[in-house]
Amino acid sequence: MLLVSFVAWAGGCATKPPVAPKTAQEPIREQTVSFRGADVELSGILFEPVSPARRGERRPAAVLMHGCSGMLTSRGQLPVGRRDWAERFARRGFVTLAVDSFGPRGIGSVCEIKVSERPAQPWEVRTADAYAALDYLVSRTDVDPKNVLLVGWSHGGSTVTGVVRPEALGRRAAGPHFRAAIAFYPGCTRPLRLKGYQTTMPMLILHGEQDDWTPVTPCVELAKKLKNSRFPATIIVYPGAYHGFDSPGGKVTYLPKVYNPRAPGGRGAYVGGHEPSRLKAIDDVNRFIAQNLAR
């Protein structure tokens, strides 16, 4: 099994990234929902296809975990990239729940706060949020409890690395359990350093080679560490891509105030979309779903 894949398309001998498969443009329903978390009443945005499930049909589902800036922008909207993924999953037939871990706790963006001082830590708080969202979804009569995907970005991607552990906060041996997980540009230093770190499901890590906020090297090493596990992690690295490479638009900007212990003065990182990588990631996510979920 290929654990580490470096995608290349720049230069004379490069290959062209595949065109992302078109998603069926079925209208979707969108609504705000609330559900019980471990310590607070959580909220989120639920996306689902307009066409009703056939009698007795249970659909796959997806839980989406936001990054350090929170689920919503300063205008109270989902970021364009997160909305694109949420609608993409819904149009594929997934009952999709974007979870807000910060708003219900009165937390704003934590991107500028030192990691050790941030509230709602990935492994200590947000793993339980992910399992609370799973409980909510499987309580629905239209969701297949054995076919739920977990997806997270950055801070939410780091949450994914915690959720997949057998000892994750909120996980119960009797279930329900996630079927598979995808982490976009997570921080992998913590699971890499943890002795005996294991996963309980297939995990795909998608990362930009140029990421200077959560560097890719620890994630590559983590995939190598897990190569003999029951569920080896797969990592795909996109050349020329920075943190947030899957955002539409292809514009990279410098954020001078975000906390980054690897940068001079401990602040600053480049963030933004890289269209070839975004399109390739859509293809890679579709392939991962086809290989690891029933739909």
The predicted structure's pLDDT at residue 50:
80
Instruction: Tell me if 122 sits within 8 A of 270, measured CB to CB.
Output: no
Say which residue the tokens 């443009």 belong to.
25
Structure-token pair, residue 223: 């995939």
Overall size of the chain counted in residues: 295
State what percent of residues in the chain have pLDDT above 90.
86
- Domain enclosing residue 131, as ranges: 4-292
Q: pLDDT tens digits for 121-174?
A: 999 999 999 999 999 999 999 999 999 999 999 999 999 999 999 999 999 999
Residues 219, 258: Cα–Cα separation, whole Å: 21
What integer pLDDT is reported at residue 129 of this predicted model? 98
Task: Measure the CA–CA gap between 53 and 91, rounded to whole angstroms.
Answer: 13
For the chain, give the mean pLDDT: 91
Which among 110, 147, 145, 102 has a CA at the least distance from the CA of 126?
A: 102
Could you tell me the CATH number of the domain that includes residue 107?
3.40.50.1820
Structure tokens at 6: 């470096």
pLDDT, position 55: 76
**Would you say 159 and 127 are in contact if contact means Cβ atoms under 8 Å apart?**
yes
Token readout for 112 is: 């500028």
Q: What is the arrangement of strands in the sheet containing 4-6, beginning at the earlier edge strand?
A: 4-6, 233-238, 203-208, 180-184, 143-153, 59-65, 95-100, 41-49, 28-36
Which residues in the chain belong to E strands, given as ranges?
A: 4-6, 28-36, 41-49, 59-65, 95-100, 143-153, 180-184, 203-208, 233-238, 252-259, 267-272
The structural domain count of the chain equals 1
Q: How many helices (H) and strands (E) does the chain have?
A: 6, 11
Q: Give the DSSP per-residue string, 153-166.
A: ETHHHHHHHHHTST
In this prediction, residues 78-104 reach a mean pLDDT of 96
Confidence band (pLDDT; 50, 70, 90) for 18?
very low
CB 157 within 8 A of CB 127: no
Look at residue 5 in the predicted model and tell me its pLDDT.
60
- Alpha-carbon distance of 196 to 283, in angstroms, equals 32
Please give the model's pTM, rounded to 2 decimal places.
Answer: 0.91
Distance from C-alpha of 45 to C-alpha of 263, rounded to nearest angstrom: 35
What does the block give as tokens for 151?
Answer: 């997806």
Answer yes or no: are the C-beta atoms of 236 and 3 closer than 8 Å.
no
* pLDDT greater than 80 at residue 10: no
pLDDT surpasses 50 at 83: yes
171's CB contacts (< 8 A; 6+ apart) are 127, 131, 163, 165, 177, 200
Per-residue pLDDT, averaged over 282-286, amounts to 98
Digit-coded pLDDT (tens) for 40-80 = 999 999 999 887 777 778 999 999 999 999 999 999 999 99
